[in-house]
Chain A
């Protein structure tokens, strides 16, 4: 079962999806540690960062023992960020996910246990409009990792992005915020549900809407929203969940709210949302 939360070290179990916010030159060492962990697990490795070419990228991975040898054996690939995604170009979540699905299949076919990616995507999210597209991509790849043996660390440079890193961090199950402001919640995929953990109040309403929109765009099926890890939600948070239900209803879809706290259910009722007809409630799975 995937679990959300705050991470102190760049380690993730297979299927993990870790947002790593940095504010100094530590990213290459963090990526080397993350990829080294995958090596022990028998995974094929991919390193993506903003560098001119493969040689420069391999140089950055000095902390990964014998990076050139791993590259020669096809265990490690390196790709300059600007070659993988076009900065400012339209991110097509389905196409990107399908590319990673192919890489994951290829890794399994070559005898690896899965695919592990460490990527610095700062370059691709500098503009607010790029970021909106990229949040949809992050949520889509998260849904893929919830069911496939792919593991990723997505790094973002706070020096470039400022507090906007929170917009990206909240769509990862795990996050390391460095010196950036913690979003206080996360929204990520499990095999059959969307899971929300943390606290939803007025400070995070602006983050919640794009995160929810991105998450429901991943499939066309009914949605299960698992609130078992939600410690607090205010009326504004409930109203955004209500809006989510309205959006789904327009698409002919249902929303099942799973494992909601008794207080949440009571607030929902008091503020008059019981009449939202495509919403149903269920206990913990």
Chain B
């Protein structure tokens, strides 16, 4: 091997393939080798690819765990959390993974998953795992393939890996990937500025969410997330937080929390699992888990976190 590690750190590799034969020819030995080495071997791939790999594997059936990629790659921040949980549960046993990201249909989806690929380099860096991400260059948009060259420190080839000279540090890359989330132009259902009474803000928000017929358990989740973002605004700004919330059509809720502070400059904030003994940083993690989108950006007079989720 021409690579950096000895299997005791996180290795994140892009695999560009142009045919199903290439796919099988490269990944089957990779998976079998992991089984032989006693690794925990997991293939997160679409069903049709799982069938191809299963047929060709030399390892006994059941040695490779197959997970449906369509189900696994629904929500970037939650997928990071699930990988982290999965690898934590191995208790130090080395993992060997194939992870075929499902990039979705829109440019915003692509950017979200490219940001995920970048963040993964930090989020999982303490795990003993090797993750190979197959990219189907026949089907994926050119932009997605191009971005993958910047999000993977290593390139996977049939029997070898090489350092990827086009790799970009995630902090640099991710800053450019945050989607701009325009606020609705209609009047918000809630517009409230508080200094210390977050209880009033929570009740106003929960009331609007309940009026929009959002399920009570979901209202509780969203309220916890909004409260965390507003807490950060109070603590890191000059002491006031403004919440606006819109119910958009029948299917979406958009919240903006503004403060007049300097904001945060870590574009990976909330994508990286917080170590158990760290003192803070869990609020944005929680907000990213509970909303579909949690985006941070400076404004003319301070800083804004925009939270978006489908309500159904």
Contacts and interface: CB of A to CB of B under 8 A. Distances in A.
Interface of A: 184, 199, 201-203, 232, 234-236, 239, 261-263, 266-267, 270-273, 275-276
A267 B224 contact: yes
Contacts of A271: 274, 282, 285-286
Contacts of A272: 273-274, 276, 282
| Chain B, interface SS category | helix
B224 A263 contact: yes
A184 B220 CA distance: 19
A273 B277 CA distance: 10
Nearest to B201: A201
Given A236-B231, A267-B224, A275 B199 contact: no
A202 B282 contact: no
Contacts of A270: 81, 285-286, 289-290
Contacts of A236: 231
A266 B199 contact: no
A73 B30 CA distance: 92
B93 interface: no
5 contacts: A201-B198, A232-B227, A235-B228, A239-B282, A273-B276
Contacts of B202: 232
A203 B239 CA distance: 12
A177 B285 CA distance: 36
B283 interface: yes
A217 B263 CA distance: 40
A202 B224 contact: no
Contacts of A261: 220
Q: Report, nearest first, the 3 A-B pairs whose CB atoms are least far apart.
A: A263-B220, A271-B282, A202-B231
B36 interface: no
Contacts of B286: 235, 267, 270-271
Nearest to A274: B85
B217 interface: yes
A184 B199 contact: yes
Interface string B186-228: 0000000000111100100000000000000100110110011
B8 interface: no
A44 B206 CA distance: 48
B235 interface: yes
A234 B217 contact: no
A207 to B, nearest CB: 13
Nearest to B273: A272
Interface in B148-201: 196-199
A101 B290 CA distance: 50
Interface in B226-277: 227-228, 231, 234-235, 273-274, 276
B217 A262 contact: yes
Contacts of B197: 203
A275 B199 CA distance: 30
B289 A202 contact: no
Given A199-B199, A202-B198, A272-B274, 6 more contacts: A184-B199, A235-B286, A262-B220, A271-B274, A275-B88, A275-B276
Contacts of B224: 234, 263, 267
B287 to A, nearest CB: 10
Contact of A202 (B221, B235, B290): B235
